[in-house]
Structure 1
Amino acid sequence: MLAILTMLLVPTAAYAQPVADIGELTAFDGNAPKIFIAQAPEGASTTQFYEVIQNNSGGSTFEPAFSVDSLRVNAIAFNPDDRFVYAYVQRSTDVSTPAGSVVAIGQNGDYARIGTSTFLSAEGTTLLNAGDIDNDGIYYLHRSDTASRSVTIERVDIATGSSLGRTDLTASGTTGAPDFVWESGYLIGLGSDGRFVRFDPATSSIDYFPAPDSMPLGVYGGVWKYGSGNIGLSFNGGGIYRVKVDNIATTPTFTLINRIDGPGSFNNDATSIPAPPVDLGIVKTAAFVDASQNQIAYTVTVTNNGPGVSTGHSFSDPIGADFSGFTASDPACTIDARVLTCSSGPLQVGETRTYEFVGNLLTAEAGRCYVNVASVAGNELDANPANNVSAAQLCIDPDVRVSKSVDPASGTTVTEGQELEYTLVFENTGVSDAPVTYDDVLTDVLDDSFVVSAPVASSSVLTASSIENGRFTVNGTLAAGQTVTVSYTVEVNGDGERGNDQLDNFVVPAGATPPATCLDTDALCTSNPVSSLSVTKSSDPASGTAVADGKTVNYTLTFTHSSASANADAVSLDYTDSLGSVLDDADLTTEPMASASEITVVRSGDVIRITGDIPVGTSFTVTYAVTVKNYAEQGDHLLANFVTGTGDAPPSECVTENTLCTEHPTTAPAAAAPAAAEVTNAENRSGLPSTGAGVAGGIAAVILLLSAGLTLVLARRRASAV
């Protein structure tokens, strides 16, 4: 029936004209799918065609397409063989095309009369208002709104425009359908009483079947078939309904796929122009938003994989009994009778449309999986239905997340005497209680360190056992959303008391064997190499050797990084060599010099500072030399020297086992012997004979005094700090 829309529809600016022959018409584009609604206001002699455009907000609009000049037409039907729209003329101001004629209409609205026959209703009127074309080119015409029961269906050959006969439906009863479509050998329409009508032209029989309950009662004046095979119906009260038909030849069932908003209308008629098939694919995913509240977020993505353009689609997602509280903010989506339906408009090849919505689980049972299935249906024929369904599954299993950390952080090189604090974190991110049974394996920690504080849990829901055979066990149960930590501390052993200089630590399920190595990406292990720096000071001559005036003493400071772990970072040096108690007795004759550029040596007065980085497996030296002053110019007659960490105080004395210090006492020069003449004169003056004993005794006395003085100096020197 012709559509008189309740909304204001603006007609096209120009009207198309009649042509003499169908060969002069332009066929509709085979790659441009369209749905047409035709209307002519009461009393009008021109028909306006509108294209139904589906949008992305779950609705549609009627956009002016073209007008058919001088004719009021109805019962429009598309013929896929020649790609023209055929129509029945109800009223005409074109004398060459009288009322009752059949015309073919091209894509710009031009028309041509088919044959010379005219067709009237059983009452002799030109009010035939329902029509469609079967696969053999037969055009079926019918009047649905007669008050009498003298109802007919006229069959017209669209190639010639001649009648193929009339079927009298008086004995079978009126169809009651204001429009119908051809489907698999039958004409299908929907009556205003809420029943679908199936008319069988071969037997002239009519059968009735219930429509879905969600479809309102009333007149569905425009009916068409989508390329997908589904039936579209325009409700006069507003809205477009898409229905899937199954088992049409036996006991048909009619399932509502979706409803989209659309203008209200009456006296309407419709047809569709199919296009190449498409391949719509759907992918659905699910994830918990807030596990403690059982809230779930769903994402559905629809993609047009081509080759044709999709004019619209919808997907449906039944909400199972285990779910509640579903909401969708997308205006294209609605929820009715526990079915979520989203409808959207055109998709170009390769284009996608994404929908998001949330819902809740009524109950979450550990170990159970919950599944939601969404299916998509497009307006066009889908060449690959295998990807039209997608399921999203959520399994409710206890979900305990375990991680391990250490302070200083994993990967940091540590040194002897340094403490490391380990922390294990157990977090239940699931929705139910979860058991915890894990081992912390610290075999490769305890070969290089000792435990300062034993493992202890932050909550009594978990217990940490004592350490046995290099591991301890954490047991207990975590409530949903609960987090508990276990911590302990170790201290790095001194040099010579360590194993492989690598503190590797692993968390594993109870009884499991840890990995061979700790990867940087593994949250269940930590690794800390240990540096081993050796610093020594030596001299030539060796420490403790007495040195005389003018003697040169060569000093060597040796820095060696000999960690057993190849992962140890380079060691940073910062040492000081104080020369204050050397340079009071000697002069610096060779400035300090490093053996490698990695070491920086700076002397400021009597202080040498050594800084730099020493990679593992390397050894560097710093050397310098002094020359002993004349004895009379010396200070305390002891070259004493200590190497310390910068800022540290040196020890009070240099003991033999200390490799960071050296000392060298200086020797006084020997006294000169008296001249022979002086001795003789002395003897003569004394009147005593010269026996030699006096001279020897005097020399011995002098030596004794000198030795006593040197001993006193050394004793005082050792008593003072250098």
Structure 2
Amino acid sequence: DELTYTLTFTNSGNAVGAVDFTDHLANVLDDAEVTAQPVSSHASVTASAVTDERVVVSGTLAPAQTVTVSYTVTVAPDGQRGDDVLGNYLVRGDAAPPTQCLDGDVDCTVNPVPEIVDSKSADPVSGSSVAAGQTVTYTLSFRNDGAAAGVFARDDVLTGVLDDADLVGEPTVDGDGDMATKLVDDRLVVTGSLDPGASATVSYSVVIRPFAQQSDHVLGNVLVRAGGEPPATCEPPEGEDADCTVHPVGEIAATKSVDPASTTAVEQGDVLTYTLTFHNTGAGAATVDYLDRMGDVLDDATLTRSARASVDALELEFSGDVLSIGGRLEAGETATVTYSVTVMAYDRQGNHVLGNYLGLSNQSPTGMCADGSALCTTNPIQVPPPLAITGGTIGFGAIAAGLIAIILGGVLLVARRRREAGEPAERDGEDGAL
């Protein structure tokens, strides 16, 4: 605001009178700046420029003559003032000014100034990385640190938020004063009034869209004076309340591959190496929270090389037939996890298919690997061929001849043993006769 001060000098006597006054501006200039120097309405009275926070007025007045001296100040912006009270004292000569302006005193003026302090915060805090589906709650705070009641109007510029997220519900108002909100295009218009020392807040929430439905993957929000333009970047001055927030959106793109490639038939004893790849395609850090379900692999194969991560940021935990992968990757960062299995002997296998499923920890596998899916692999296991027989094919006739030979050999062996058993008796008979 601009304030124009007018000093009025009138000679109510019957003779020429001297004018010698000093206007003290110390308590004005701590809150305002002179924008129009003092000007006298008549040459008989002169007024100095503002020097050392004073205006010196001198000259003479004829009987019944009135002369005025005027100048203008402009109130400094919020946060750049002193005590938010413009006090002005006119005294004779070099007299000291009073310490306060009493009611009815025509030689002083007092104008209190409101100071509306606004700020903006968010949950999670500004600078935090967020993800698709997450809710971000914004809070606009207003308080009057000044000496007078103040009316204000602010625009919360949501252009950089609503290109990536959707408003949820209506804004809520809490605190002192008379407050109102209205969404106009991509701006939340907030108007209200606050008494000295009063405060109020406005809160609202947004939900981040799926990554593919976002624009620049950064939620940028700025609170400005009504009609004001937001700055190009969010850089709150040090020591001052922030009027802007920034939330980069992270996104993990996960893929799974196997060597030999998925759908390739394998045999017992073959070694397969699996690779899980995690790439952060977003603008902010992102959380890795995946499960690699290996149940349909380990019923047909044995883990022969344990899982290893390419970066320390990933944490691996194997429980039962599930490998848990957790951690956090910065924007643009890529990490891999590898392990190997060896196919069991065919008669020890389960369903003879190596099926492997990678997915978010809160999602269940579909039970089948869709064509072209980057999150699963399938490798059928071939039936092993029959054992080979050395020396060629043995016919039925040869087998029968062999069996007959074995039987005949057995008969001859029994007959011989009987003959040999009878000879000693005959010799004994002969000896008896002798």
TM-score by length of 2: 0.61
Relative distance call for 1:604 and 1:321 in structure 2 (3 A) is closer
What is the match of residue 552 of structure 1? Answer: 271
RMSD between aligned alpha carbons?
Answer: 3.6
Q: Does 1:631 align with 2:319?
A: no
Question: How far apart, in 2, do the equivalents of 1:424 and 1:612 lie?
Answer: 33
Contact residue 560 and residue 619 of structure 1 kept, 8 A = yes
Q: Does 1:542 align with 2:278?
A: no
Whether 1:322 aligns to 2:102 is yes
Q: Which has the higher contact order (CA 8 A, sep 6+)?
A: 2
Indicate which of 285, 288, 296 corresponds to 1:573.
Answer: 288
Preserved CA contact (<8 Å) 1:503 1:527: yes
Instruction: Name the SS of the counterpart of 1:558 in structure 2.
Output: strand
Is 1:420 the counterpart of 2:136? The answer is yes
Q: Distance in 2 between matches of 1:369 and 1:480?
A: 20
For residues 657 and 505 of structure 1, what CA distance do their matches in structure 2 show?
A: 40
Give the secondary-structure state (helix, strand or coil) at the position aligned to 2:160: helix
Deviation of 1:606 after TM superposition, in Å, equals: 3.9
Cα deviation for residue 681 of structure 1 reads 9.7
Q: 2:302 aligns with which of 587, 595, 601?
A: 587
CA separation of 1:369/1:544 partners in 2, compared to 1, >3 Å: closer, same or farther? farther
2:335 aligns with 620
Stretches of structure 1 that go unaligned for 5 or more consecutive residues are 1-284, 297-314, 324-361, 371-394, 683-722
| Equivalent residue number for residue 405 of structure 2 | none
**Aligned equivalents of 2:220, 2:380: Cα separation in 1:** 50
Q: Which residue of 2 aligns with 1:489?
A: 205
Alignment of 1:452-463 (within 5 A): 452-458=168-174, 461-463=178-180
**2:311: which partner in 1?**
596
Matching of residue 405 in structure 1 with residue 121 in structure 2 = yes
**Residue 245 of structure 2 aligns to which amino acid in structure 1?**
T
Q: Is the 8 A contact 1:642 1:661 kept in 2?
A: yes
- Give the Å deviation of 1:458: 3.8
Partner residue in 2 for 1:222: none
Note the C-alpha offset of 1:613: 3.4
Change (3 A) 1:661 1:467: farther
For residues 257-315 of structure 1, the C-alpha deviation after alignment (integer angstroms, 9 at most, x for no partner) is: xxxxxxxxxxxxxxxxxxxxxxxxxxxx9748xx9xxxx9xxxxxxxxxxxxxxxxxx9
Shift of 1:417: 0.6
Residue deviations 1:169-227 (CA, integer Å, cap 9, x gap): xxxxxxxxxxxxxxxxxxxxxxxxxxxxxxxxxxxxxxxxxxxxxxxxxxxxxxxxxxx
Match of 1:465 among 163, 173, 182: 182
Please show how residues 116-265 of structure 1 align to structure 2 within 5 Å. none
1:643 aligns with 2:358: yes
SS of the residue aligned with 2:295? coil
**Distance change (3 Å), C-alpha of 1:433 and 1:407:** same
Determine the C-alpha separation between the residues in 2 that align with 1:410 and 1:369. 45
Q: Which amino acid aligns with 2:156?
A: D
- Residue 478 in structure 1 maps to residue 194 in structure 2: yes
Work out the CA distance in 2 between the residues paired with 1:597 and 1:320: 68
Task: Quote the residue 2:243 is aligned against.
Answer: 524
C-alpha distance in 2 between matches for 1:523 and 1:584 = 58
Q: CA deviation at 1:665?
A: 2.6
Q: 1 CA distance for matches of 2:188 and 2:120?
A: 14
> Contact conserved, 1:455 with 1:466, CA < 8 A, in 2?
no
Any residues of structure 2 matched to 1:686-705 within 5 Å, and which? none
The corresponding residue for 1:609 is 324
Q: Aligned AA for 2:129?
A: T
One-letter amino acid of the counterpart of residue 358, structure 2:
V
Superimposed CA distance per residue, residues 101-135 of structure 1 (whole angstroms, 9 cap, x where no aligned partner): xxxxxxxxxxxxxxxxxxxxxxxxxxxxxxxxxxx
Unpaired segments ≥5 residues, structure 2 = 1-80, 88-94, 400-434
**8 Å contact kept, 2:252–2:287:** no
Equivalent residue of 2:212, what SS? coil
Q: Which residue of 1 aligns with 2:380?
A: 665
SS in 1 for 2:273: strand
- Deviation per residue, 1:417-462 (Å, 9 max, x gap): 1001111122233344322211111111112212222434347932
Where 2:193 maps in the other structure, the secondary structure is strand
Over 3 Å counting, the alpha-carbon distance change for 1:621 and 1:320 in structure 2 is closer
The 3-state SS of whatever aligns with 2:337 is strand
User: Structure 1, residues 485-504: CA drift from partner, whole Å, max 9, x if none?
Assistant: 22221111222222222111
Tell me what 1:508 maps to: 224
Which letter maps to 1:318? P
For 1:667 and 1:513, locate their aligned partners in 2 and report how far apart those are by CA, in whole Å. Answer: 68
Structure 1 Cα separation of the partners of residues 211 and 82 of structure 2: 56
Give SS of 1:496's match: helix
Aligned equivalent of 2:54: none
SS of 2:213's partner is coil
Q: What is the percent sequence identity of the aligned residues?
A: 37
Q: Secondary structure at the match of 1:590?
A: strand
Q: 1:453 to 1:543 in 2, by over 3 A?
A: farther
Aligned equivalents of 2:140, 2:115: Cα separation in 1: 16
Pick the aligned partner of 2:371 from 639, 656, 674. Answer: 656
The offset of 1:587, in angstroms, is: 2.0
Higher mean alpha-carbon deviation, 501-510 vs 533-542, is at 533-542
How far the C-alpha of 1:531 sits from its partner, in A, is: 1.1
Q: Indicate if the aligned counterparts of 1:456 and 1:463 stay in contact, CA closer than 8 A.
A: no
Q: 1:665 to 1:418 in 2, by over 3 A?
A: same
CA distance in 2, matches of 1:581, 1:475: 62
Matched residue type, 2:247: N
Structure 1 distance, partners of 2:184, 2:370, is: 41
Asked if 1:439 is matched to 2:155, the reply is yes
Per-residue CA deviation, residues 234-253 of structure 1 (Å, 9 max, x unaligned), is xxxxxxxxxxxxxxxxxxxx
Letter in 2 for 1:561: N
Listed one character per residue, the Cα deviations across residues 307-359 of structure 1 (whole Å, up to 9, x for unaligned) are xxxxxxxx977344437xxxxxxxxxxxxxxxxxxxxxxxxxxxxxxxxxxxx
Report if the CA contact (8 A) 2:101-2:109 is conserved.
Answer: no
Deviation per CA, 1:641-699: give whole Å up to 9, x if none: 223445765444433364332222322235679986658999xxxxxxxxxxxxxxxxx
Give the AA of the match of 1:444.
Answer: G
Q: Please state whether the residue corresponding to 2:161 is helix, strand or coil.
A: helix
SS in structure 2 opposite 1:667?
A: coil
The structure with the largest alpha-carbon Rg is 1
Distance 1:465 1:516 in 2: 24
CA distance in 2, matches of 1:597, 1:487: 39
Shift of 1:574: 4.2
Change in Cα spacing, 1:485 to 1:597, as seen in structure 2 (3 Å) is closer
Give the 3-state SS of the residue equivalent to 1:445 in structure 2: helix
> Residue 456 of structure 1 contacts residue 487 of structure 1 at CA under 8 Å; is this kept in 2?
yes
Q: Which residue in the other structure is 1:691 paired with?
A: none
Deviation at 1:480, TM superposition (A): 4.1
Residues 1-60 of structure 1 deviation map (CA, whole Å, 9 limit, x = unaligned): xxxxxxxxxxxxxxxxxxxxxxxxxxxxxxxxxxxxxxxxxxxxxxxxxxxxxxxxxxxx
Q: Partner of 2:415 in structure 1?
A: none
Cα distance per residue 1:513-542 (max 9 Å; x no partner): 111111144521111111121122111233
Give how far 1:508 is off: 0.8
Conservation of the 8 A alpha-carbon contact between 2:211 and 2:217 = no
